[in-house]
Structure 1
Amino acid sequence: MDLAVRATLKGWKFIYLGDVRVKSELPSTYEAYCRQQFRWACGSANLFRKMIWEVLAAKKVSPLKKIYMVYSFFLVRRVVAPAVAFILYNVIIPLSVMIPEIFLPTWGVAYIPTALFIVTAIRNPENLHIAPLWILFESVMSMHRLRAAVAGLLQLQEFNQWIVTQKVGNNAFDENKEAPLLQKSRKRLINRFNLPEIGLSVFLIFCASYNLVFHGKNSFYINLYLQGLAFFLLGLNCGGNLPGHCCF
């Protein structure tokens, strides 16, 4: 991304070839996937901090492209999107069921997200059957992406960590061209759980239970229960190994 941005500022043009396919390998475990997403989100946010003034001062880039790069490519997609996704669905909506003064319009919490989901889903109609699981999984990942974006913008201590995702590569392929999954390493009991996910799951399930017992203006307990369950299962590493053909 750093190279692509600098090339763009030099006036280079790019062509997207959508029909070119290459072999790739996704992280085999939830922990590895979280580390990968953290690197990507943290690096993108830090690149925004590092390159914003160079983008604005670039002479070979049109004002319209500068606005797109600063506002859409960096600010909205790398910083605002994970912040809104996490704060709205995992903080504001849960708190709204316990605080009557908080009113959330239906178009903001239902219509717009549904429209965005439909626009995204129609690109891959063959994966519609896993769409609900994908939404719940992305809700959990928004927590990690927000933390990474903050670390990248502020250059916190986590910013300097660089843990490369372990891959099995071309070793030990079987006749069906399927790579074996990585074996889990032995860990202490406390390290086998993801405490942030478990903590947030307790909060979401509590808010869902409160909403179920005390109905107010908002009834989100079904969604909150599902989100809490997703956080809890991933907090216990019940996701296990992620198959290489999954598309999150």
Structure 2
Amino acid sequence: PLGAQDGEDEERGLLGYPMVLVQIPMYNEREDLVELECKIWAKKGKNVKYEVRNNREGYKAGALKEGMLHAYVQQCDFLAVFDADFQPEPDFLMRTIPYLARNPQIALVQARWEFVNPNECLMTRIQKMTLDYHFKVEQEAGSSTFAFFGFNGTAGVWRISAIKEAGGWDDRTTVEDMDLAVRAGLKGWKFVYVGDVKVKSELPSNLKAYRRQQHRWTCGAANLFRKMGAEILLTKEVSLWWKLYLLYSFFLVRKVVAHVVPFVLYCVVIPFSVLIPEIKIPAWGVVYIPTAITVLYAVRNPSSIHFIPFWILFENVMSFHRTKATFIGLLELGSVNEWVVTEKLGSASNTKPVPQILERPRCRFWDRWTVSELLFAVFLFVCATYNLVYGSDFYFIYIYLQAITFIIVGTGFCGTSNS
């Protein structure tokens, strides 16, 4: 579905610049709400277009690509994108469009995500901590140092000419937002992150939905790295330093190493080390680095410092899933292009959740179990018990806690459930 709005100034749009507003509903039922809202504004004399396509080919990238083909888009200069659970403030365009209007080198203005349900459960609290760190370190730091940072897929405004020059939306991976941002960056376009412009959104509170979201994000980024590595190296439009930054820092470190290393070190190497006395892990690997990372997250989220232990344990379990997704993307295995819409419960709106969603038949409790996580929990229990009986250190405390976390997540007793 695509909604296009020229704004407050009749033909020329907000601030006199034509633009398109895109909103991607999560459920078919929400299309009626979008259509109704468009009709309301049309009756007020606003130039609003409402479009719906009859297939899911290409998923979100396909919808955006098809939306760009409409005739009225040719008269527009900018494109604002919002997922269905995002609620921009009335002055969103007033605070973002000027960056694009005053600097022709800027292709994208990315706003910050704000969350309406961070306190819904422990899992949403942990997600908020992780995403806050992402926006502060990756987005804000990248923008302030004029380095590359990726488009988050929503709550942003694009210059349409930049989209066209980069080749448009592409559905070759499940991260069409990152794909477009990388190609635009290779053309020399600049991005701006505006942290004080916040758009309300909803965090997935259902564990299965969160797993699917993380699989799509992680697998898609790794797959894009595989597909664009050579293209990045061969391009002549950006400097060698910029290409090395993109390949090493953005892709290799953040999209591959950041997922694989935590899992290998804290869920494999440390547990195995208690079974083999000859293996000695240096203190920097067991104490210093984890402490430094914890302090960084604690500084960014001082009000959630008491959740840090839960964040560490839960993120280690999720690193297990992200590591699998990373290798699926790098090797282009079976579920590399799997796209399942992240299910939300409707907490981001003032309306009640869609009745059809709440009336789904209840599943049996064992249908929520994940065998791989439970088997890994057994491995950790064996390692912890061996360390308790024969070891001379206290690794078993951490390993037992990590095993319990794998069991909790593996049996689905995490987050909320609407099934």
8 Å contact from structure 2 (residues 222, 256) kept in 1: yes
Q: Matches of 1:64 and 1:100 in 2, distance apart?
A: 44
Alignment of 1:174-193 (within 5 A): 183=358, 185-188=361-364, 190-193=366-369
SS at match of 1:241: coil
1:140 aligned partner: 317
TM-score (norm 2): 0.54
The reply on whether 1:5 has 2:191 as its aligned counterpart is no
1:228 aligned partner: 403
Deviation per residue, 1:134-158 (Å, 9 max, x gap): 1111010000100000000111001
2:270 aligned partner: 93
Deviation per residue, 1:94-151 (Å, 9 max, x gap): 0100111211111112111211221222112111111111111101000010000000
Deviation per residue, 1:191-244 (Å, 9 max, x gap): 22111111111111111111011124x4311110110111111111111418xx
SS at match of 1:16: strand
The CA RMSD over aligned residues, in Å, is 2.3
8 Å contact from structure 1 (residues 39, 162) kept in 2: yes
User: Larger RCO: Structure 1 or Structure 2 (Cα < 8 Å, ≥ 6 residues apart)?
Assistant: 1
1:159 aligned partner: 336
8 Å contact from structure 1 (residues 121, 131) kept in 2: yes
Higher percent of residues as helix: 1
The reply on whether 1:122 has 2:307 as its aligned counterpart is no
The reply on whether 1:202 has 2:378 as its aligned counterpart is yes
8 Å contact from structure 1 (residues 97, 219) kept in 2: no
Larger-Rg structure: 2
8 Å contact from structure 2 (residues 204, 210) kept in 1: yes
Deviation per residue, 1:52-101 (Å, 9 max, x gap): 11111222212111111101100111111211111111111101001112
Q: Matches of 1:108 and 1:52 in 2, distance apart?
A: 30
Q: Matches of 2:213 and 2:415 in 1, distance apart?
A: 16
Q: Matches of 1:65 and 1:204 in 2, distance apart?
A: 42
Go from structure 1 to structure 2 and tell me whether the alpha carbon gap of 1:180 and 1:109 turns closer, same or farther (over 3 Å shift). Answer: farther
Q: Matches of 2:308 and 2:348 in 1, distance apart?
A: 32
Q: Percent identity?
A: 53
Q: Matches of 1:219 and 1:171 in 2, distance apart?
A: 44
Q: Is there any run of 5+ residues in structure 1 with no aligned partner, and where?
A: 243-248
8 Å contact from structure 1 (residues 172, 180) kept in 2: no
